[in-house]
Amino acid sequence: MLDVMEIQDILPHRYPFLLVDRITEMEKGKSVTGYKNISISEPAFMGHFPGHPIYPGVLILEGMAQAGGVLALKSNDLSKEELAKKVIYFMSIDKAKFRSPVKPGDKLEYRIEIKKLRGTLIVLDGKAYVDDALVAEAELKAMIVDK
């Protein structure tokens, strides 16, 4: 549905902090599904952990938020020019749980649903999967603001 170049038209994030490779499904105002291919060449693996690479949980949460950000910004039907003037800030992360480690070679799939979208405030139910097994979940609150 959206490749990495189209995602970069929506989000301000860039390498090494753009954590969504592709959006595969999106229902505006409702949900989004996307993924990140986890490669051994990820910068985080240099220190997390040498000889035992585990993708950091905070980056999983950030990837969920980025996928949710694409959904939030696309749900507001903003033009490309308007999108360029917006950014999304985290307000809170609640009920975060990490169920199993994510490792190099995994395809990390984000499945995000909007719990509440009121003006510039968005509350998301975020889940992350590898091979259809739940690896992480959290409730994310964010706000769309002008840059």
Beta strands in the chain (DSSP E): 22-27, 31-37, 86-98, 107-118, 121-130, 133-146
Residues, the chain: 147
3-state secondary structure of 110: strand
Residue whose C-alpha is closest to residue 76's, from 6, 5, 28 = 28
Distances (CA, A) of 133 to 10, 22, 60, 88, 123: 29, 19, 14, 28, 23
Is 48 designated active site?
yes
Active-site residue (options: 13, 28, 48, 141): 48
What span, in angstroms and rounded, lies between the C-alpha atoms of 127 and 23?
A: 15
Side-chain half-sphere CA neighbours of 132 within 13 A: 0
Query: Active-site positions?
Result: 48
